[in-house]
């Protein structure tokens, strides 16, 4: 499968954040789009996900089969959690194809056991981020798309999260938007 981003441009008022940007996102590959704040990383993520329309250009799905849509495991900049639910429930609720036991096993790779049953609102920023990453990676998906997934993590948490994501990538593509690219040498780095 290939996600083709072709000649995409996007402006907000007088500010052009993407200018004729093209990229093929291919299975079994990892990509990191980087640049300073405000350069269009999040806008590109939103366009790829179909949450925003480009001013010109398009995003298409290519491959041996006709894909009517793709299923994305997504990490947004904000965690988008149900604050009153615990970590297990926040991951479990996103797919009817998950088992609670599997979710627990996966979360234990990223969080201490005592954090799993606490409401999300009492977890640290790093722990909340780990739940968001686990949630994106645990659902059956065609592609992982992550916007600043490692932001706010300690070095130890970052390394654990990157290993987890790489283990979960499988044969699908991995697309990350990030200001900080250290420890992401495995990916093709694209500067915006």
pLDDT 10s digits, 114-170:
999 999 999 999 999 999 999 999 988 999 999 999 999 999 999 999 999 999 998
Per-residue confidence band for 69, with pLDDT thresholds at 50, 70 and 90: confident
Per-residue confidence band for 25, with pLDDT thresholds at 50, 70 and 90: very high
Per the listing, tokens 């049953």 go with: 117
Per-residue confidence band for 62, with pLDDT thresholds at 50, 70 and 90: confident
Contacts of 19 (CB under 8 A, 6+ apart): 9
Residue 105's Cβ-side half-sphere holds a number of Cα atoms within 13 Å equal to 6
pLDDT for res 67: 64
Q: Which tops the pLDDT comparison, 71 or 134?
A: 134
Give the whole-number percent of the chain exceeding pLDDT 70.
97
The H or E element containing residue 158 is helix 155-169
**Strands (DSSP E) along the chain, which ranges?**
2-12, 15-26, 30-34, 56-62, 72-75, 143-147, 174-177, 188-191
Please write the tens of the pLDDT for every residue from 11-23: 999 999 999 999 9
Q: Please answer whether residues 33 and 47 qualify as being in contact, where contact means their C-beta atoms are separated by less than 8 angstroms.
A: no
Q: Would you identify the CATH topology of the domain 2-191?
A: Rossmann fold (3.40.50)
**How many CB atoms sit inside 10 A of residue 20's CB?**
11
What are the angstrom distances between the C-alpha of 192 and each of 88, 129, 189?
Answer: 36, 25, 10
* Eight-state DSSP code of residue 114: G
Please write the tens of the pLDDT for every residue from 154-168: 999 999 999 999 999
Distance CA 104, CA 114 (A): 12
57: left (phi over 0), alpha (psi -120 to 50) or beta: left
Average pLDDT, the chain: 94
- Per-domain residue ranges of the chain: 2-191
Using the predicted structure, report yes or no on whether residue 66 has a pLDDT greater than 80. Answer: no
Distance CA 115, CA 86 (A): 8
Contacts of 172 (CB under 8 A, 6+ apart): 1, 27, 28, 141, 142, 143, 144
Please write the tens of the pLDDT for every residue from 82-103: 999 999 999 999 988 889 999 9
């Amino acid at each position: 499968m290939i996600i083709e981003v072709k000649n995409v441009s996007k402006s907000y008022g007088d500010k052009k954040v993407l200018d004729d940007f093209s990229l093929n996102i291919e299975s079994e590959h990892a990509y990191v789009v980087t640049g300073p704040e405000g350069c269009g990383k999040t806008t590109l993520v939103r366009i790829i996900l179909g949450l925003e329309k480009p001013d010109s250009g398009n995003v298409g799905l290519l491959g041996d089969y006709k894909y009517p849509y793709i299923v994305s495991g997504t990490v947004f900049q904000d965690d988008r959690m149900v604050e009153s639910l615990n970590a297990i429930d926040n991951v479990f609720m996103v797919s009817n194809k998950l088992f609670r036991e599997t979710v627990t096993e996966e979360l234990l790779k990223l969080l201490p056991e005592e954090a799993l049953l606490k409401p999300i609102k009492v977890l640290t920023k790093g722990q909340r981020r780990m739940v968001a990453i686990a949630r994106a990676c645990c659902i059956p998906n065609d592609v992982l798309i992550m916007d600043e997934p490692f932001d706010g993590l300690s070095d130890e948490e970052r390394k654990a999260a990157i290993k987890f994501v790489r283990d979960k990538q499988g044969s699908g593509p991995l697309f990350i938007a990030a200001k900080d690219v250290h420890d992401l040498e495995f990916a093709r780095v694209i500067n915006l």
